[in-house]
């Protein structure tokens, strides 16, 4: 069972202010980048498939050379056997459409040079663009079936069928069970939770997690980078020239305001008495008076 996990680097919003240039474009080189949080569920689904059915899991991303760190994070934090980075200046400023064209070319090259793909996993949406389009558009480019909002799945390797439970229109109260022939795309929902009911599966999971962390320490040895020339992509259909999306403006992300002030005190009897006196009405409830 050979799986590919599509992952993306997104700004690490927890680090504070995100840098934009004068035209309103995100300056990724000046902004810390991490693996898109929703992609972690996709990697978990691929690992579950690896545990239950064996096989191979590859991470794939399109972006600047620094995205190798994102692929390394996927390998170390969850699981992959190796990584593929689609990176070239010609790919810069791609929208979801141009990104999907590039990713589909990467998948096709993978099939030609590495092996036939059974499953492609993708996250629900990215933390920066939040369009949720890249997975479905790449599936369209490959002409493969796709199942979205997946919260549980398993594979019948003999029938070559995916069976999955998915949320209906994102409603956690309504779940449907669907089937799709392999190869196919799976877009995991944030509600996805891997399950390992058998003891053998739990032991395999533990072993694979230890192995992937060892690989991640020497990630460059497990990384393959393909350029625009390697992928045989027409420059007119990739990057900015191949992106029909027009962004009129981008609103900078404001720094979160401080929620509360802290007063430092010395823990002596006088200071603590003042604090207790001030806090007593709140501890007693609204409208209560000190001493009640």
pLDDT at 292: 47
Q: Which fold has domain 2-237?
A: Rossmann fold (3.40.50)
CB 137 within 8 A of CB 113: no
**pLDDT, average across residues 146-172:** 90
pLDDT given for residue 223 in this prediction: 98
SS3 label, residue 237? helix
The DSSP bridge pattern shows strands 9-11 and 33-35 to be antiparallel
Give the count of beta carbons closer than 10 Å to the beta carbon of residue 179: 13
Residue 284 has pLDDT above 60, yes or no: no
Contact 245, 97 (CB under 8 A): yes
Strands 171-181 and 161-168, sheet pairing = antiparallel
Q: In the structure, what pLDDT confidence band is assigned to residue 12 with cuts at 50, 70 and 90?
A: confident
Answer yes or no: is pLDDT of 39 > 70.
yes
Q: Of 24-33, 145-154, 186-195, which gets the smallest average pLDDT?
A: 24-33
Rg, the chain, Cα only: 24
- The better pLDDT of the pair 108, 127 is held by 108
157 vs 168: CA distance, rounded Å:
26
Q: Which of 83, 117, 112, 87 is CA-nearest to residue 7?
A: 83
Report the C-alpha gap between 26 and 41 in whole angstroms. Answer: 26
Phi, psi of 219 (to 5 degrees): -60, -35
* Residue 173: both structure tokens together: 């109260």
Whether residue 126 is predicted with pLDDT greater than 60 in this model: the reply is yes
Q: Is the pLDDT of residue 28 over 70?
A: no
Nearest-angstrom CA–CA distance, 134 and 192: 19
Look at the block and give the residue holding tokens 């059974």.
118
What per-residue confidence (pLDDT) applies to 241? 85
> How do residues 175-218 score in pLDDT, each as one tens digit?
999 999 999 999 999 999 999 999 999 999 999 999 999 999 99
Q: Does residue 290 or residue 42 have the better pLDDT? A: 42
| Full strand arrangement of the beta sheet holding 119-122 | 171-181, 161-168, 146-156, 184-188, 119-122, 2-6, 56-62, 82-86, 223-226
- Domains of the chain by residue range: 2-237
Q: Where are the alpha helices (DSSP H) in the chain?
A: 39-53, 68-77, 96-113, 134-142, 199-216, 269-284
Highest mean pLDDT range out of 29-38, 65-74, 165-174, 271-280?
65-74
């Amino acid at each position: 069972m050979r799986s590919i996990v599509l992952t993306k680097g997104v700004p690490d919003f927890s680090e504070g202010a995100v840098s934009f240039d004068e035209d309103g474009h995100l300056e990724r080189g000046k902004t810390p980048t991490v693996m898109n949080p929703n992609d972690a569920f996709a990697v978990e689904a691929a690992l579950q498939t690896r545990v239950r059915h064996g096989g191979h899991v590859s991470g794939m991303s399109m972006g600047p050379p620094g995205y190798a760190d994102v692929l390394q994070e996927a390998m170390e934090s969850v699981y992959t056997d190796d990584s593929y980075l689609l990176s070239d200046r010609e790919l810069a400023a791609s929208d979801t459409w141009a990104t999907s064209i590039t990713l589909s070319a990467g998948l096709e090259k993978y099939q030609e040079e590495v092996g036939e793909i059974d499953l492609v996993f993708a996250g629900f949406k990215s933390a920066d663009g939040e369009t949720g389009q890249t997975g479905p558009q790449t599936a369209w480019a490959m002409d493969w079936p796709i199942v979205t909002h997946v919260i549980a799945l398993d594979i019948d390797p003999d029938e070559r069928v995916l069976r999955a439970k998915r949320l209906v229109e994102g409603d956690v109260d309504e779940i449907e069970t669907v089937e799709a022939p392999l190869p196919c795309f799976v877009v995991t929902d944030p509600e996805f939770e891997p399950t390992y009911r058998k003891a053998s599966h739990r032991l395999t999971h533990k072993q694979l997690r230890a192995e992937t962390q060892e690989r991640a320490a020497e990630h460059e040895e497990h990384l393959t980078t393909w350029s625009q020339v390697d992928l045989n992509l027409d420059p007119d259909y990739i990057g900015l020239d191949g992106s029909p999306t027009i962004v009129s403006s981008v609103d900078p992300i404001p720094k979160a305001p401080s929620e509360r002030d802290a007063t430092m005190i010395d823990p002596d009897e006088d200071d603590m008495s003042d604090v207790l006196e001030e806090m007593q009405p709140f501890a007693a409830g609204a409208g209560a008076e000190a001493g009640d």
